[in-house]
């Protein structure tokens, strides 16, 4: 068994420098869109106690960039040391942030822009070697990922806010309806999980290590709205037998009967999507479901959620070459033909889309469209080492967190790869989360079309 592969440009400092510049510029363009499409009063308001005011995210992006690129990499003095505690994500819970003396929108924009100007100068002059932070431009890639992660958070805030529609985007391209098998068999055996070579991989993705996974079946596509409606219509939210006890308590406490943002009107399911109310599309992957809802559906269907290692093997393992690839389609970077990423669209594509992004085993949409809940708890890999700070991953291990994989339409490619790990509380529904299901397989079993 061979190990995982790396980006072909990972050893070329100038190619990495150009990639870092492009990633930083792309992230800032998106940040600008998300914070300029509404009035300043909308930036300072808290649209949900689950989320920060948009203006907090904007200044926090600038503050993290200053701390890591200007202070840690370049050794410069702090520009605004007095605001560090205001934008420390661990210092103040989200619900408290509106009461803080935050920078006003204009001041936050100016601060972030000034930091960015200085950071680009640092990027131009910094050798991509010599320290763990500068090797392969890691710090610059980390900051681009951080900004894109907050851009996704701000997009969630836009989905939660009420009022006029502020964001628009074209729908994903439509192709021929998917007619392939409902599930595929992933062969048992060892594979390489995680990475030790991806230059901007974050600490929880490291190190690469071998996992032995028994054979299993996994859905070819994410579970659709139409399939999930069958669960609802069969009393899925009314029968305790399908639910984890904590999930059942959540359902009863909140009177849940459908995914977040859904409502039934005139015999039809409708949903609110970025300020627009529309019929729930039958063929799209279901969105805005908690881990508990995904787990209950899987039990109802006689299946289960895939483990984290099963998900990654389905997404990365090539049985022909016996190696783990960077993405389901190979080692090349994502393209619009391979995956729905980068907020190019504001919705998932129909299930079965993106044949160019299919894995060697025939699984589709493992990257992009919707984050996929797995059964796994968020735990460190063997040999894990926190870098460059404990608060990114280490403090979350072993808590009440479930792992999501694969990214969503809301995620930029810089923060999405076959090894990337996301995590959240199992009650979370506002995130762009969906799922696919799996089941055990015997060593000689073969898939049956339509069996999922």
Looking at residue 452, its pLDDT comes to 39
pLDDT band at 1 (very low <50, low <70, confident <90, very high): low
Tokens of 256: 């849940």
CA gap 20, 28 in Å, rounded: 12
Looking at residue 450, its pLDDT comes to 45
Q: Which helix H or strand E contains 115, and what residues bound it?
A: helix 105-125
- Check whether 265 has a pLDDT greater than 60: yes
> What is the rounded average pLDDT of the residues 292-302?
98
CA gap 252, 138 in Å, rounded: 46
At 278, give phi and psi (nearest 5°): -150, 160
Q: What tens digit of pLDDT does each residue of 73-125 get?
A: 999 999 999 999 999 999 999 999 999 999 999 999 999 999 999 999 999 99
Detail the DSSP E strand segments found in 255-316. Answer: 262-265, 268-273, 276-279
CA gap 266, 261 in Å, rounded: 16
CA gap 284, 227 in Å, rounded: 10
**β-strands 438-440, 422-424 pairing:** unpaired
- DSSP string across 231-250: HHHTTTTT-GGGS-HHHHHH
CA gap 170, 149 in Å, rounded: 22
Looking at residue 3, its pLDDT comes to 60
Angstrom CA distances, 291 to 257, 326, 390, 424, stand at 15, 26, 26, 9
* 3-state DSSP of 336-359: CCCCECCCCCCCCCCCCCCHHHCC
Question: Domains of the chain: which residue ranges?
Answer: 13-160, 170-452
CA gap 260, 229 in Å, rounded: 13
CA gap 364, 361 in Å, rounded: 9
Helical packing angle, 105-125 and 13-36, nearest 10°: 170
Write down the mean pLDDT value for the chain: 95
**β-strands 438-440, 433-434 pairing:** unpaired
Angle 103-153-350 (CA atoms, 0-180°, nearest 5)?
150
pLDDT band at 451 (very low <50, low <70, confident <90, very high): very low
pLDDT band at 442 (very low <50, low <70, confident <90, very high): confident
pLDDT band at 205 (very low <50, low <70, confident <90, very high): very high
> What is the rounded average pLDDT of the residues 148-167?
96
Of all residues in the chain, the percent with pLDDT exceeding 70 is 96
Looking at residue 446, its pLDDT comes to 66
Q: What tens digit of pLDDT does each residue of 409-441 get?
A: 999 999 999 999 999 999 999 999 999 999 999
pLDDT band at 261 (very low <50, low <70, confident <90, very high): very high
Q: Out of 3.90.1580.10, 3.90.1150.110, 3.40.50.150, 1.10.630.10, select the CATH number for domain 170-452.
A: 3.90.1580.10
Considering the domain delimited by 13-160, tell me its CATH architecture. Answer: Up-down Bundle (1.20)
CA gap 226, 174 in Å, rounded: 17
CA gap 143, 138 in Å, rounded: 9
Which range is least confidently modeled, 70-79, 130-139, 395-404, 440-449?
440-449
Do the two domains 13-160 and 170-452 of this chain adopt the same fold?
no
Q: Which helix H or strand E contains 418, and what residues bound it?
A: none
Nearest to 42 by CA among 167, 158, 169, 168: 158
Looking at residue 213, its pLDDT comes to 97
Which residues have C-beta within 8 Å of that of residue 206, sequence separation ≥ 6? 194, 195, 196, 381, 383, 384, 385
Looking at residue 372, its pLDDT comes to 99
Nearest to 277 by CA among 162, 433, 432, 411: 162
At 28, give phi and psi (nearest 5°): -70, -35
Cβ neighbours around 177 below 10 Å, total: 10
């Amino acid at each position: 068994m061979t190990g995982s592969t790396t980006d072909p440009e990972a050893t070329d400092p100038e190619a990495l420098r150009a990639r870092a510049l492009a990633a930083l510029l792309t992230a800032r363009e998106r940040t600008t869109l998300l914070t300029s499409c509404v009035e300043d009063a909308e930036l300072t308001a808290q649209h949900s106690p689950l989320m920060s005011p948009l203006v907090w995210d904007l200044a926090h992006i600038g503050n993290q960039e200053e701390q890591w690129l200007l202070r840690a990499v370049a050794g410069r003095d702090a520009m605004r040391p007095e605001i560090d505690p205001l934008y420390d994500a661990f210092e103040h819970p989200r619900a408290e942030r509106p009461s803080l003396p935050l920078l006003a929108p204009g001041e936050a924009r100016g601060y972030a822009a000034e930091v960015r100007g200085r950071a680009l100068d640092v990027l131009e002059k910094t050798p991509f070697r010599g320290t763990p932070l500068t090797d392969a431009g890691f710090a610059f890639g980390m900051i681009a990922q951080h900004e894109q992660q907050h851009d996704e958070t701000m997009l969630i805030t836009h989905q939660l806010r009420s009022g006029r529609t502020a964001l628009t985007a074209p729908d994903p391209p439509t192709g021929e309806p998917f007619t392939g098998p409902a599930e595929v068999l992933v062969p048992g055996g060892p594979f390489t999980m995680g990475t030790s070579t991806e230059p901007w991989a974050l600490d929880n993705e490291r190190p690469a290590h071998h996992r032995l996974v028994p054979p299993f079946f996994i859905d070819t596509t994410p579970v659709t709205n139409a399939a999930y409606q069958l669960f609802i219509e069969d009393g899925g939210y009314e029968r305790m037998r399908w639910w984890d006890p904590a999930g059942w308590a959540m359902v009863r406490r909140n009177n849940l009967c459908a995914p977040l943002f859904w409502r039934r009107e005139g015999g039809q399911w409708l949903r609110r999507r970025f300020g627009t109310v529309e019929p729930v599309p039958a063929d799209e992957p279901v969105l805005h479901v908690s881990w508990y809802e995904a787990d209950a559906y899987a039990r109802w269907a006689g299946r289960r959620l895939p483990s984290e290692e099963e998900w990654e093997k389905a997404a990365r393992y090539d049985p022909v070459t016996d190696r783990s690839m960077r993405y389901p389609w190979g080692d090349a970077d994502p393209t619009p033909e391979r995956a729905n990423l980068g907020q190019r669209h504001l919705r998932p594509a129909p299930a079965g889309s993106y044949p160019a992004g299919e894995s060697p085993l025939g699984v589709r949409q493992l990257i992009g469209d919707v984050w996929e809940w797995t059964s796994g708890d968020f735990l460190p890999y063997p040999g894990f080492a926190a870098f460059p700070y404990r608060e990114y991953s280490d403090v979350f291990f072993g808590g009440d967190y479930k792992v999501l994989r694969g990214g969503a339409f809301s995620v930029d490619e810089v923060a999405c790869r076959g090894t990337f790990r996301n995590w959240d509380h199992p009650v979370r529904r506002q995130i762009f989360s969906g799922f696919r299901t799996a089941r055990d397989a015997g060593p000689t079993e073969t898939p049956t079309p339509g069996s999922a």
